[in-house]
Structure 1
């Protein structure tokens, strides 16, 4: 089974599928797409314009996993539904936070 994150020596990369303009802000757990690609499902109430949904996603991840907002950045997918995020920090610590939910 593939995982939604990749571990690097000083950070972790997380695949996220974001649903903007949702009824609530939430992390809906990990899911695997039909083609075998894994990602973290997230939804935010913010609209997908001027980076509002992306900012809301970073805030949601920061609050949910107790990660500083400044340590989360985009690797790719800023204007797409599927995104790759770079989360700075101890990868094992970050992995434990993600798996614990």
Structure 2
């Protein structure tokens, strides 16, 4: 099963978050999930907020179109991106 699936025009990603990383970005696969590095620490929702901001920029949508479906307190997250305008080039090799 891939780390993503489409629901009409919306994209659902299964992610593994690595908070506190030196460089934010996509980092390949972690099992069957997309590994994403975020520089924010995993406290007070900072990592979740940075993840939403990172994905909004990567998929060229406003932050309001990115939301966590599950995993608010976990590294394993499911994220909804409403009508992404672009697919990041980094994901083409996965």
Give the TM-score normalised by the residue count of structure 1: 0.78
CA distance in 1, matches of 2:50, 2:39: 8
CA distance in 2, matches of 1:55, 1:5: 20
Deviation at 1:16, TM superposition (A): 0.7
CA distance in 1, matches of 2:11, 2:71: 16
| Two-structure CA RMSD over aligned residues (Å) | 1.8
The structure number with the bigger radius of gyration is 1
Deviation at 1:74, TM superposition (A): 0.7
* 2:25 corresponds to: 26
CA distance in 1, matches of 2:58, 2:11: 16
**Where does structure 2 lack aligned partners over 5 or more consecutive residues?**
none
User: Are the equivalent residues in 1 in contact too, given 2:16–2:30 (CA < 8 A)?
Assistant: no
Give the TM-score normalised by the residue count of structure 2: 0.83
CA distance in 1, matches of 2:77, 2:20: 16
* 1:8 corresponds to: 7
Moved runs in structure 1, 4+ residues, more than 3 A?
none
CA distance in 2, matches of 1:12, 1:77: 17
Q: 2:51 aligns with which of 36, 51, 57?
A: 57
Q: 1:45 aligns with which of 28, 39, 42?
A: 39
